[in-house]
Amino acid sequence: MNSINALVAIMRNFSHPVIWVRQEFEPDLQDAFPEMRAKGIRITVRGTPGCEILSELAVAPTDVVMVKKRYSAFYGTNLDQALARLGPDAILLAGINTHAFAQPLSTHTSEIGL
């Protein structure tokens, strides 16, 4: 957590935006993966600590927080519009599980002209 918070502090010191992405499903799992529904896996359910950003992370009220329902942070969110509005010339990825974000990022950023 310390390295992520240090990176966030650097970004804020340079007035760069910070976007957090977390996963959340409905309590009845209607919007969850089929395997989760079939096995009753309830890891990131709305209203439980499992779907919240860790309290140790330095989330500020001015940060953007995206809620995703799939592996891709672009699927069913407005992340591509947020990035187009911000117009970054570079994007830094950090976190615990970024593998499902990096490949779609390269596809989507070329589509929105970043």
Of the candidates 77, 56, 64, 51, the residue with the CA atom closest to the CA atom of residue 20: 64
Question: How much is the pLDDT for 71?
Answer: 85
The confidence score (pLDDT) of residue 98 equals 58
Q: What is the CA radius of gyration of the chain?
A: 15
The more confidently predicted of residues 96 and 5 is 5
The single-letter DSSP state of residue 71 is S
Q: Looking at the 3D structure of the chain, how many domains does it have?
A: 1
Look up the CATH number of the domain holding residue 6. Answer: 3.40.50.850
Quick check: 80 and 112 in contact, CB under 8 A?
A: yes
56 sits in which H/E element = none
pLDDT in tens, 63-105: 999 999 998 888 899 999 999 999 998 888 887 665 555 555 5
Token pair, residue 49, equals: 């600590």
Find the domain containing 73 and state its range.
Answer: 2-111
Stated pTM of the model: 0.80
